[in-house]
Amino acid sequence: MDKKEELFKIAMECPSSVLKEVDDATPLYQAGRVLLEKGKNEKAKVYFKLALKLEPDEKLFKEALEEAEAEPKKTSEPSATPSKSEPAKSLDELLAEVNKLVGLNNIKTDIDNLMKFIRIEKMRKERGLSSNPISLHSVFQGPPGTGKTTVARLLGKIYQSMGLLKSGHVVEVDRSGLVAEYIGQTALKTNKIIDSALDGILFIDEAYALIPEGGKGNDFGQEAVDTILKRMEDSRDRLIVIVAGYPSEMNRFILSNPGLQHRFNRYFTFNDYQPEELLEIFRRIAESANFKIAPDAMEKVSKYLNYVYQSRTDTFGNARLVRNLFEEVVQLQSARLAEMEHISDEDLCTITLEDINRAVADEYKEEITESLDEIMAELNGLIGLDNIKNDVEQLLNYIRVEKMRAEQGLTTQSLSLHAVFQGPPGTGKTTVARLMGRIYKSLGLLPKGHVVEVSRNDLVGEYIGHTGPKTDQVIDSAMHGILFIDEAYSLNPGGQGNDFGREAIETLLKRMEDDRDKFVVILAGYPDEMKDLIETNPGLKSRFNRYFNFVDYKPDELMDIFEGFLKKRSMKLDPAAEKRLIGHFIDVWESRDKHFGNGRFARNLFEKIIQAQSDRVAKMTQILPEDLCLINMEDVECVISTVQPDQPKQRPTIGFKPPEG
């Protein structure tokens, strides 16, 4: 006699005088559940009422009593007979249904192999040969919206068709459906769910949430896991459990408990749908709802889905995203039709380009694709930076040849685009980083190519446990683009053992490994400090081996930068002012230190001179049009005298000749 039968016999024979002496509600509830399963509703009600008398606020006991007071079940076993509304399908029909699903080719292969295994094992058993035990408990690992629940339901029907399960129904739960808030209640709650899944499949979504990372000792999720494992053993022929969730989290979950490792050794891996598969899902959803998609609208959907696929993260919604898109499109189509005076039947069932454009406007805007030649022309048009332009050209040559090797099936080297930009401030590091993002996007290496510019304050938290999530959030915003960390050396200040900057670095390194092809990191700062940062951390040293050296602009380049600002504002210098300004650039260049501002210095100087010119012109009694756009010696001298009062010395020119006065 098994334990359940033994409990049933005791519950039926126990005198009421003994029952009234019981002061623990849990065994009363459990006995009531067994009685209810056997169709002994009246007797079950006695036990549930006694349990409620001890714990009158327990929702679980109230629900059990309501169930017992309902119409008694005719049988204790769930019916395996299919409903008249949905005739039972043959195994071949069910397998054909699996094969009609969009994508999931590896899952279809896994199911086909499983069917072959089950058939052969059944054949061995029927012929009296030694057979292997068939364990159908499974791990469904993959991102959301990839068909895990759909496949689970089909497997339930397939197992029922093969005689492995009497019912084949699927009970879907997550942590909240299993774990209670109070001690002793989780086992009851979990057992009730398992009872409802007997002869079918218990599908636990996000199962890893039952054992939180870090393993809190007082978390009731462990009690749910222990209860599930016990019932998987006690009801091994009547219950199949499928646990589902993200791959890395599910791996952690299974490894956290030897019992889980022992019972779950069948894995189904669900991958993200490809763009063309997402488009087919959209088409099928529309077709099932009797909608037609205009050709130009379908083309826009295709472009949008390709964009979201290329820029996806680990939480990419897949088919769920497609369904949400369709529902939003239908709502917007309804809003558009409501403004029309005459609406035809065709209008009611047609989705237009306008509907799609409005649905995706917040997230996706079609951009004119930049050619690589256009971006390189912009880079080469920058003042100075000759060595940087050469380095970028060499990098592009390397990328092109590696692509050719890959296309020919030859061995290629893993392409690392992470880089160190070292040099003084104002030398164009941020400008070049933005151009690099556009270059990588044009080459198809980064779907977005945007640049997220941060410094230490954007990454480092103020207290323990704050830095990791803060850094992760910044990295998430840079996904499929470039994370540009200025003054990166400040993340590792010397001699501060408890500085949170190191935690930011470790978080960054982990994400660079976990999402290695999904974003590029550029570290920027002074050469000596950047060298110290990289040398002191083996993780950084192994990942950053591409260096771009930015040097101070020369005086003639600073003058060119200044003249660029003039051109943008339609301003011009008189000859005396120009000569004075050239001399000033020579003076500051020769006396510069490592903190020299370069292009930033030229911009600040320009803005101050414009302010001085405005002050001078405002005092004039008669202002001519040419006065508004002319900078003279007075304007320049007014600013330079406050920065460096000494007059420029006579000296040979550097790379250019100042105009004669």
Closest to 249 measured CA to CA, from 189, 308, 175: 175
Q: What is the pLDDT of residue 80?
A: 35
Residues 323-356: tens digit of each pLDDT? 999 999 999 999 999 999 899 999 999 999 999 9
Q: What three-state secondary structure class fits 451?
A: strand
Domain layout of the chain by residue ranges? 3-69, 91-269, 275-360, 372-549, 555-641
pLDDT at 75: 32
18 pLDDT higher than 90: no
Which of 646-654's residues contact partners 24+ apart within 8 Å by CB, and which partners? 646/587, 647/583, 648/580, 648/583, 648/584, 648/586, 648/587, 649/587, 651/586, 653/582, 653/586, 654/554, 654/555, 654/556, 654/586, 654/589
CATH of domain 275-360: 1.10.8.60
pLDDT cut 90: percent of the chain above it:
62
Q: What is the pLDDT of residues 461-487, one digit of tens each?
A: 888 888 999 999 999 999 999 999 999
Distance of alpha carbon 428 from alpha carbon 424, whole angstroms:
9
Q: What distance in Å separates the CA atoms of residue 588 and residue 124, rounded to the nearest whole number?
A: 91
Stretch 539-568: mean pLDDT = 93
Q: Which CATH class is domain 91-269?
A: alpha beta
Q: Which of 117-131, 304-318, 646-660 has the lowest mean pLDDT?
A: 646-660
Cβ contact 586:648 at 8 Å: yes
Predicted confidence (pLDDT) at residue 504 exceeds the cutoff of 50: yes
Question: How many CB atoms sit inside 10 A of residue 91's CB?
Answer: 14
Count of residues making up the chain:
661
Q: Identify the three-state secondary structure at position 524.
A: strand
Round the average pLDDT of the chain to a whole number and report it: 87
- 372-549: CATH homologous superfamily? P-loop containing nucleotide triphosphate hydrolases (3.40.50.300)
Confidence grade of residue 77 (pLDDT, cut at 50, 70, 90): very low
> DSSP of 329-354, one letter per residue?
HHHHHHHHHHT-SS--HHHHTEE-HH
pTM of this structure: 0.63
**What integer pLDDT is reported at residue 644 of this predicted model?**
52
What radius of gyration, in Å, describes the C-alpha atoms of the chain? 36
Q: Which residue has the tokens 């000596």?
A: 528
More confident: 449 or 125: 449
CB 282 within 8 A of CB 275: no
Q: Are strands 482-485 and 350-351 parallel, antiparallel or unpaired?
A: unpaired
| 13 against 507, higher pLDDT | 507
Does residue 131 contact residue 121 with C-beta atoms inside 8 Å?
yes
Side-chain-side CA neighbours of 100 within 13 Å: the count stands at 9
Separation CA 152–CA 165 (nearest Å): 13
Q: What is the pLDDT of residues 211-243, one digit of tens each?
A: 987 655 567 899 999 999 999 999 988 999 999
Summarize pLDDT for 602-659 with one digit per residue, the tens.
Answer: 999 999 999 999 999 999 989 999 989 999 999 999 898 876 533 444 444 444 444 4
**pLDDT tens, position by position, 375-392:** 999 999 999 999 999 999
Torsion of CA 201, 207, 210, 216, to 10 degrees: 160
List the structure tokens of 344.
Answer: 């035809």
CA dihedral sign of residues 623, 627, 633, 636: positive
The domain 555-641 is placed in CATH, from the list 3.40.50.2300, 3.90.1150.10, 3.60.21.10, 1.10.8.60, at 1.10.8.60
**What is the reported pLDDT for 366?**
72
Average pLDDT of span 12-33 = 80
**Is 400 a residue whose pLDDT tops 80?**
yes
Place 2 in a pLDDT band, splitting at 50, 70 and 90: low
Q: What is the predicted pLDDT for the residue at 76?
A: 33
**pLDDT for res 661:** 43
Label residue 72 by pLDDT band (50, 70, 90). very low
- On the question of pLDDT at 81 being above 60, the answer is no
Whether the domain at 91-269 and the domain at 555-641 fall into the same CATH topology: no
Residue bearing the bigger pLDDT, 201 or 37: 201
